[in-house]
Structure 1
Amino acid sequence: MDDDFIHPYIPNSEPNVKSALLDLIGAKNADELYEEMIPSRLMLKESMDLPAPIPSEYDLRKYMNKLLDRNVTTDDYISFLGSGCWKHYVPKVCEVIASRSEFLTAYAGGSHSDLGRFQANFEFQSLICDLLGMEVSGIPTYDWGSAAGNSIRMVSRLTSRKEVLIPRNISPARRQIIENFCDSVDPSGRIKIKPVDFDIESGRIDLEDLESKINEDTAGVYIENPNYLGIIESDVREISEIVHNFGAEFVCGVDPISLGILSPPSDYGVDITCGEVQPLGIHMHAGGGSCGFIATSDEERYVAEYPLRLISITETDFEGEYGFGQALYERTSYISRESAKDWVGTTTALWGITAAVYLSLMGPQGIKEIGDHIIRKSHYTAKLLDEINGVDIPYTGFFKEFPVQFQTSIRDINEKLLEHKILGGKDISNYYPVLGNSAIYCVTEMHSVNDIQYLQTSLMEVLR
């Protein structure tokens, strides 16, 4: 593009402005500026062949809409993808509240200027604790992975131990995040991760392997229930007993939408619960709707280790009036800065408020009904797929997600399913070679009986 060209949507492309900017920073041209920051091997040498600018806003909008029409969404295709980002129904009121100007920011706000937002965040904390059977929760963090990483660092500080046990049937993506959290720059802060096998026959944690690896150096054990394969861990009480017999902490990651029909973590002795908020009224947003939570009992030793902001309620000087503020704010990295035990931000506070709206709207009975729909539909799907030649459903006792084994490449199957306007399951063949050509299929309340039956007939045609 000519150096003298003035782009209609880039004000600083005007030659005199460009010259003034370059003179101010002491560079002859833009290339000289970029050379100081970007290695030459990464610099694009050829022209980008960009289209000419479109001056008319109307024509530009038409052009952009034409480009956007090429996108494939889960409104156009039936999606059976999950594995960390799930398509659940989002009530309109969740969208409306999330778009209100007093809430429409990622941040939690200040105690003097944002009492309304503080109350909304307090309601989220209260509602998520009710669902989990826990007593304390904080402003949500980035996602499930970071919540799990923070939780593991908490148990290491609580026990003064530097080793955690993590089963192989958790999310590979979350495992990577946890590994980053445990790999401190300071060697004294590093936490060793010991993997625990899972039973190939059941998909659940191998208790014998757990018992053989846990010892007096173990800070805690982290599991997911349901696990990454969708299997409900039925031995959680035994796991809890094993963990606590060694003075370690029990950490469990959960999908909150499952708690309408599954026992809350508090029922089986979990010390710290974490998980993903996205199923609670938040759109997938191409993976951007993630939001993690941490919850514990109301014991001082746990509260003191929270890296998150905790919103609390208290009486004011006026009878019957309440205010909201931050509890033990000095714990957080906002105050302790470089001396902080962990560093977090409030970038997902808006999603916490949205989840509070969803939980308030659904209530205990609504959450129960959704869970019931999901488990019935997912098991119905598994039954239909198991009837197809060349398809095997290796596990029972799952919620929402389950592995499906094929005799051919998952990639080839999924490419052919696209011709039927179906997004097939997540390929886990590389993550779990022992399961062969396998994909995790996800079924939620959004899938109709017709959708499920169409998947069966489409797979039968694809595998013919």
Structure 2
Amino acid sequence: MTQPFVHPYIPNSDPAVRAEMLAAVGASSVEEFYADVPPELRVQGSLDLPPALVAEQDLERHLTSLLDRNRSTRERLSFLGAGTYNHHVPAVVDEVISRSEFLTAYAGEPYEDHGRFQALFEYESLMAELLNMDVVTVPTYDGFQASGTALSMAHRITGRGRVLVASDVTPDQLSKVTDYVRTSLELVPVATVDGTADVAAVRAALDDDVAAVWVQTPSFTGALEPALPALADAAHAAGALLVVTTDPIMLGAVAAPADAGADIVCGDIQSLGVHQWFGGGHGGFLAVHDDPRLVMELPSRLFGLASTDVPGEYGFGDVAYERTSFALREEGKEWVGTAAALWGIAAAVYLSLMGPRGMAELGETVLARTAYAAARLGRLPGVAVTDTAVHFRELLLDVAGTGRTAAELRDAARARDIEPGVVVGEHRLLVCVTEVTAQDDIDRLVTTLAEILQESAA
């Protein structure tokens, strides 16, 4: 008789353990848990897994060999962006968030540890000052979810079913948000002109079924949107909201969207003291004015300062808890789960270290280096920046005139230990620079691409 295989790292592969678990929940087989999943969507048969490594040292060696295939931005000159950015993270940020009282910051729990409540309150306060908004939530899962939530809020507030997408939104974000709101909202793209919003076209598309005008600034191509005030006026005149997705890293040098009339501002905090973590390390923010119509539609937790029963003592706790899914359960507007509280604490440490002057200097540095990169790359033979907008951190190159595809240029640069950017089309390359990208790094990229083009022409 063949003995059942018990995997050394999967306890419920033991038949006795599995039977005990099934009995505890009143199920006769694991298949009952998947009854709602159509059979054609299920994996048929067993997964194609390698044999189990029984000895711990063998497993460690195997996993190390897999991890060693990675090349980080510390080892290779990188101009990659498109949503995850190589900004400097001060050492003290890692030190603080590694403390045991913060490292498992599960939405601020446990309740008896109010130190995390205060840390997240400080995060909200610092973000509110940077964004020039009154109310900021604890972090959501990521900036993509924050954008989807912001548009869902606009739908609930206005009762309308369409959103005008007025800028070049990051494709991955557009895909995720579309999936997030598809049961209640239709996203209607309005073509941009020279990299920024076509205000006249947005005005023409506005009607009494538009819940919001959605703008991403900087856009996918790094273009800053100069027409936010005009877009806000047009949206408000039609009874719609202006929702702006932005990156707070730039707001020391660029006016906050709230100053231009934005109703809801959202985005990702990865650039504020959070490492790239191979594509992870994201947390979303939502910010609104102190307007009950807006505040009560926020599904995420808010921590506020409150007096206690002891005169002169204060504590930190939930604000308007009754609007969250924690209180409403299945009747909640949106589900709020684990979220990304630890990254909020990281952002708080980062912002407290930088201060207003530091954020201003950082924003000005990135703007200057982006302009320098655009000027130098745009002078390469056959290479052109795709628009004349002011750019922050990223710019899109058209390389059609070189006779080479963007993928060919990328591969040739990789062979020289440089990641030149993200390929976004046959002849389009998205290049990213940050404050850690030195002028010499940009010059090296330009020189390398020039050599590649000369070799191909020879």
TM-score scaled by length of structure 1? 0.88
- Classify the secondary structure of the residue corresponding to 1:194: strand
Partner residue of 1:454 out of 419, 426, 444: 444
Q: Distance in 1 between matches of 2:433 and 2:375?
A: 13
Residue 392 of structure 1 corresponds to 384
Q: Distance in 2 between matches of 1:143 and 1:10?
A: 31
- Which residue identity does 2:155 align to in structure 1? S
Residue 92 of structure 1 corresponds to 91
Pair 64,258 (structure 1): closer, same or farther in 2 beyond 3 Å: same
Question: How far off its partner does 1:74 sit?
Answer: 1.0
- Which residue identity does 2:142 align to in structure 1? D
Residue 418 of structure 2 corresponds to 422
- Which residue identity does 1:364 align to in structure 2? P
Partner residue of 1:198 out of 192, 207, 210: 192
Question: How far off its partner does 1:213 sit?
Answer: 0.2
Question: How far off its partner does 1:180 sit?
Answer: 1.8
Residue 55 of structure 1 corresponds to 55
Contact 1:106 1:346 in 2 (8 A): no
- Classify the secondary structure of the residue corresponding to 2:274: coil
Question: How far off its partner does 1:10 sit?
Answer: 3.4
Q: Distance in 1 between matches of 2:5 and 2:294?
A: 61
Q: Distance in 2 between matches of 1:5 and 1:232?
A: 58
Pair 40,314 (structure 1): closer, same or farther in 2 beyond 3 Å: closer
Contact 1:401 1:440 in 2 (8 A): yes
Residue segments in structure 2 that go unaligned for 5+ positions in a row: none
Q: Distance in 1 between matches of 2:41 and 2:434?
A: 48
Residue segments in structure 1 that go unaligned for 5+ positions in a row: 185-189, 430-435
Residue 268 of structure 1 corresponds to 260
Partner residue of 2:370 out of 365, 378, 389: 378
- Classify the secondary structure of the residue corresponding to 1:103: helix
Question: How far off its partner does 1:56 sit?
Answer: 6.3
Residue 118 of structure 2 corresponds to 119
Residue 402 of structure 1 corresponds to 395
Q: Distance in 2 between matches of 1:259 and 1:25?
A: 52
Residue 443 of structure 1 corresponds to 433
Contact 1:378 1:399 in 2 (8 A): yes
- Classify the secondary structure of the residue corresponding to 2:398: strand
TM-score scaled by length of structure 2? 0.89
Contact 1:145 1:178 in 2 (8 A): yes
- Which residue identity does 1:196 align to in structure 2? V
Question: How far off its partner does 1:216 sit?
Answer: 2.0
Residue 145 of structure 2 corresponds to 146
- Classify the secondary structure of the residue corresponding to 1:455: helix
Matched, 1:325 2:321: no
Matched, 1:369 2:361: yes
- Which residue identity does 1:72 align to in structure 2? R
Q: Distance in 1 between matches of 2:384 and 2:280?
A: 33
Contact 2:77 2:419 in 1 (8 A): yes
Partner residue of 2:213 out of 205, 209, 221: 221
Question: How far off its partner does 1:139 sit?
Answer: 1.0
Contact 2:87 2:271 in 1 (8 A): yes
Q: Distance in 2 between matches of 1:326 and 1:68?
A: 41
- 1:188-226 alpha-carbon deviations (Å, 9 max, x no partner): xx2222221101xx2001112101100122111110111
Alignment of 1:116-195 (within 5 A): 116-184=115-183, 190-195=184-189
Partner residue of 2:339 out of 330, 343, 347: 347
Contact 1:111 1:118 in 2 (8 A): no
Contact 2:384 2:397 in 1 (8 A): yes
Superposed CA RMSD: 2.6
Pair 35,354 (structure 1): closer, same or farther in 2 beyond 3 Å: same
Question: How far off its partner does 1:167 sit?
Answer: 2.5
Matched, 1:258 2:253: no
Q: Distance in 2 between matches of 1:34 and 1:130?
A: 51
Question: How far off its partner does 1:406 sit?
Answer: 0.5
Pair 55,343 (structure 1): closer, same or farther in 2 beyond 3 Å: closer
Question: How far off its partner does 1:46 sit?
Answer: 9.2
- Classify the secondary structure of the residue corresponding to 2:202: helix
- Classify the secondary structure of the residue corresponding to 2:294: helix
- 1:328-362 alpha-carbon deviations (Å, 9 max, x no partner): 11100111111111112242011011100000010
- How many residues are matched? 440
Question: How far off its partner does 1:114 sit?
Answer: 2.4
Contact 2:235 2:241 in 1 (8 A): yes
Pair 193,26 (structure 1): closer, same or farther in 2 beyond 3 Å: closer
Pair 221,78 (structure 1): closer, same or farther in 2 beyond 3 Å: same
Pair 18,149 (structure 1): closer, same or farther in 2 beyond 3 Å: closer
Question: How far off its partner does 1:136 sit?
Answer: 0.4
Contact 2:384 2:398 in 1 (8 A): yes
Question: How far off its partner does 1:259 sit?
Answer: 0.5
Question: How far off its partner does 1:53 sit?
Answer: 3.1
- Classify the secondary structure of the residue corresponding to 1:261: coil
Contact 1:204 1:231 in 2 (8 A): yes
The range that moved more, 439-448 or 162-171, is 162-171
Partner residue of 2:277 out of 273, 282, 285: 285
